Chains A and B, each alone.
Chain A
Amino acid sequence: MDEILRLINIRKWFPVQKSFLERLLAKEKLFVKAVDGVSLTVWRGETLALVGESGCGKTTLGRLIVRLIDPTSGRIIFNGMDITDLRGEELRRLRRKMQIIFQDPYASLNPRMPIGEQVAHPLKIHGLAQGSELRDIVMKTLEQVGLTPPEKFYNVYPRALSGGQRQRVAIARAIVLKPELVVADEPVSMIDVSLRASILDLMLMLKQEFNLTYIFITHDLAVARYIADRIAVMYLGKIVEHGPSELVFENPLHPYTKALLTSIPVPRPLKEPKRVELKGEVPNPINPPLGCRFHPRCPIAGEICRREEPELREAENDHYVACFYVT
């Protein structure tokens, strides 16, 4: 298999925002450890789902990958090239190869730019097309994302569109550059329930058509199972388990993954739910617990978990887990 992206021990610590006054008096600098040492490989043509609860760092990781924010440490290798330190013009050229779709379609479109212009803008910026050729490409792309007839949408402003339609525009804007990698950050979580499936299928269809690789960020495990080939589960800025979709869902290894899986409501359950109960809530990422970050809530934690931090290791074929008690 061909590797498209490799993350090597990526960290992102955000300094805790303080007012000028507080900074004057603060003794030590505090950081939100949003992403704290993630290593991951993404294969060309696959869909990798990054799942976890809010605040686990999955969205930050998505933004790090497309270089919207700079990592505190670690390396990002894209197509065999180290892109961690790209700046200015080089970085802008990279944007043609990797794109992002955001969660909130109401906020991700410029309210004062017509739809056609929004989709055309990436091409203009990179000088890829102009005039009637540009218009043709935009029309075709609008059609591909299901905004038909495209003439009807070309000169319309975002406020006239529904959430589902706006997300289609955002998808069009991302694929018009024919990128190789697309990071989709919770693309359906703000869409009406009855329209989610259609957006998911649109994304699957486009993947086929343009030979895309997706990094699909979601908190919804059911959606992840539907769309992903591989799953990576994040907890407090770290990956605790990853592997092929089928293995992770049928045989979850990490106690956190088990808890997550058994907490999801299932409309027509095939088996009786055996819930894994967790104590407490996700700790503050400013001061994550020592040792295994999950130990204060873990039902099977032992002495070692308080002292040492488990590494991700291969528990079965291609299925990785960071837990001392999984054999």
Chain B
Amino acid sequence: MYTFRPILMKLVPKVKLSTLGWVGVGMVTFVVFLAIFAPLLTPYDPTRTVGPGFQPPCWEHPLGTNKIGQDMWSRIVYGARTIIIVVLLSTAISMLIGVPLGLISGYVGGLLDRILSMIMDAIYAFPSLILAIAMAAALGPGIINTAIAIAIVYVPTYFRMVRGQTLSIKEQLYVEAARAIGANHMTILVRYIFPNVISIITVVFTLSVADVVLTEAALSFFGLSVPAPTPDWGFDLKAGHPYLLSGYWWLITFPGLMIMILAVGFTFIGESVAEYFQAMEVRT
């Protein structure tokens, strides 16, 4: 009846970012850059002992070495890969579950909506980290399992926002107008509601990614993310903590700094995107 091509092209909405947003883009790009070009940027294998332990930053090891003599710089760079993969994977899963469920629940309403909303609200109200811990503990370590554990925690975030937006769009006059010209439910969902939900999905995505980063870091801090030798910022931070009293500051400063750069970067982008869409809404 109609082609999906133009919709797919419009999936990523045009957004004008503020200065703050561009600073965020810079920070995130930096981390993504490390993740992509990790092999070119690191002289050592991040999982091997390559020098004496507890070496402060020096020429051979710009960020020092840890207890067993692994190069911290290499671990930081490869750690970017771990966290980026987990974040992307879990966000994709959350969206794939949360967005369609939210759309359908909001549009169909009734008992289905009541039940779905109640479950989602319950998950949402729950402390996200505790839920993620419970699930990660039940699933066991590994990149996929960690991604699934985090994803389930963030499904309600997408669900709630998409459902709320769908409910309000459903009441919009242009949806009634679509019914008046004889559009069926599928057409209304795909052509009239979904395109108008995209902006809220973008906002939720950019705002919640920072949360996902922090949750991944926390899980790996608890040793519930990827198994041991894999470079992972949260894990390294935890591993360095006992030596804080000895003054080995480099063990904790750099992994934590990286987590912060990624999380703050995403938050800046999120703020900027949210502001842009708010301004758009006021204008139309």
Contact = CB atoms under 8 A, between A and B. Distances in A.
Do A and B share a direct contact in the complex (Cβ within 8 angstroms)? yes
Interface of A: 66, 68, 92-93, 95-96, 99-100, 102, 104, 106-113, 121-122, 124-126, 158-159, 170, 173, 177
B196 A66 contact: no
A128 to B, nearest CB: 11
Contacts, number: 67
Interface centre among A108, A109, A124, A170 (most CB of B within 10 A): A108
Contacts of A170: 177
A107 B173 CA distance: 5
Contacts of A68: 176, 179-180
Contact of A111 (B176, B181, B182, B284): B284
B196 A125 contact: no
B107 to A, nearest CB: 15
Given A110-B195, A111-B284, A125-B184, 9 more contacts: A93-B182, A96-B182, A107-B172, A107-B174, A109-B174, A109-B177, A110-B177, A121-B181, A125-B1
B4 interface: no
Given A110-B192, A111-B284, A112-B195, A125 B174 contact: no
Contacts of B174: 107-111
Interface centre among B177, B191, B192 (most CB of A within 10 A): B177
30 contacts: A66-B180, A68-B176, A95-B182, A96-B182, A100-B180, A102-B176, A102-B177, A104-B173, A106-B284, A107-B172, A107-B173, A107-B174, A109-B177, A110-B177, A110-B191, A111-B174, A111-B284, A112-B196, A113-B195, A121-B181, A121-B183, A122-B181, A124-B2, A125-B1, A125-B181, A125-B183, A159-B284, A170-B177, A173-B181, A177-B181
Nearest to A105: B173
A110 B176 contact: no
Nearest to B177: A108
A31 to B, nearest CB: 20
B47 interface: no
Contacts of A111: 174, 196, 284
Interface string B225-259: 00000000000000000000000000000000000
B178 to A, nearest CB: 7
Q: Which 6 A-B pairs have the closest CB atoms?
A: A95-B182, A112-B195, A107-B173, A122-B181, A92-B182, A108-B173
B191 A113 contact: yes
Contacts of B182: 92-93, 95-96, 122, 125-126
A103 to B, nearest CB: 8
Interface in B151-198: 172-174, 176-184, 187, 191-192, 195-196
Interface string B85-105: 000000000000000000000
B221 to A, nearest CB: 40
